[in-house]
Each structure stands twice: as structure tokens, then as C-alpha cells.
């Protein structure tokens, strides 16, 4: 014959399990800090920013002056563009900012062809080194 404490413990256990499973799952822990729509919007925004950064780098590498400068040192702009696509978002953003500044300086006449050559070779070497280290 079971003891009264054993029956009491069994009753408390049954009551606790019933209470735990009686609470609808939709009420327990379904609130998210960030909604799925906000996550989606953030992903789209990050993707657009990355695409814009890639276009800035490709724009610098595709200019006739850049193509001429890269050919003169034996570098392939297509290979460098492909390598740039493998950079992290942060690395790509930094490189895009440098590319944009170099293009603006060259267009304003603040840079000579030789300066552009040095900048392009530096950017190309940086891209290839980062990709090779990975």
C-alpha cells in the first residue's frame, strides 16, 4: 500500500505536468525581439549595400585608365573583380570607399596617371592577398 507522501508526490507531479502542457504553445515564448519582416528587410538592405560596393570597385577597375594601368603591370582586371566578390562585407565596404575616393580624385585632376597606377596596383594586391590568406 502506497504511503500518503507517495500519493501526494504523485498527485503534485500529475498536476504540474498537466499545467505545463495545458498552456498553449503560442503563449509560451513565441514573441520575437525582431519580426521576420524586419529580418528580411535588413537582409535585403545588406544585399543592396554589398551590390553597390561591388559596383564601385568594378567601376574603378573597368575604367579605361585602370585597364591600361593594370595591363602595364601584368594584372587581369577580371580576376581582380572576381576576387573582390569573395571579400567580406566590411572589407568590400572599405575597398569601395577607397575606390570611390580614387575615382573622384582622378576625375578632379588631383591624381596623375602614375598615382592612379600605384593606387590600382595597391588595391589589386590587397584584394589578391586577402583572398589568398583565406
The full set of domain ranges for the chain reads 51-134
Distance of CA 132 to CAs 98, 99, 101, Å? Answer: 21, 21, 25
d(Cα 71, Cα 57) in Å, to the nearest integer? 17
Instruction: Give the pTM.
Output: 0.63
Sign of CA dihedral 44, 50, 56, 60: negative
**What is the reported pLDDT for 53?**
92
Residue carrying C-alpha cell 579605361: 64
- pLDDT tens series, the chain, 134 aa: 567 777 777 877 877 777 667 666 555 555 667 788 888 899 899 999 999 999 998 888 888 878 887 888 888 888 888 888 888 999 889 989 988 888 887 777 777 777 777 888 888 888 888 888 87
End-to-end CA distance of the chain: 71
4 Cβ contact partners less than 8 Å away, ≥ 6 residues apart: none
Amino acid at each position: 500500500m502506497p504511503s500518503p507522501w507517495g500519493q501526494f508526490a504523485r498527485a503534485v507531479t500529475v498536476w504540474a505536468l498537466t499545467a505545463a502542457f495545458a498552456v498553449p504553445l503560442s503563449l509560451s515564448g513565441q514573441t520575437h525581439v525582431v519580426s521576420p519582416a524586419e529580418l528580411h528587410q535588413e537582409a535585403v538592405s545588406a544585399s543592396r549595400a554589398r551590390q553597390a560596393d561591388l559596383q564601385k570597385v568594378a567601376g574603378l577597375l573597368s575604367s579605361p585608365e585602370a585597364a591600361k594601368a593594370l595591363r602595364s603591370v601584368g594584372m587581369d582586371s577580371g580576376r581582380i573583380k572576381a576576387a573582390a566578390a569573395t571579400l567580406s562585407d566590411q572589407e568590400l565596404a572599405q575597398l569601395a570607399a577607397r575606390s570611390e575616393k580614387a575615382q573622384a580624385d582622378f576625375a578632379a585632376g588631383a591624381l596623375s596617371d602614375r598615382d592612379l597606377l600605384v593606387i590600382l596596383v595597391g588595391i589589386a594586391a590587397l584584394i589578391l592577398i586577402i583572398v589568398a590568406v583565406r
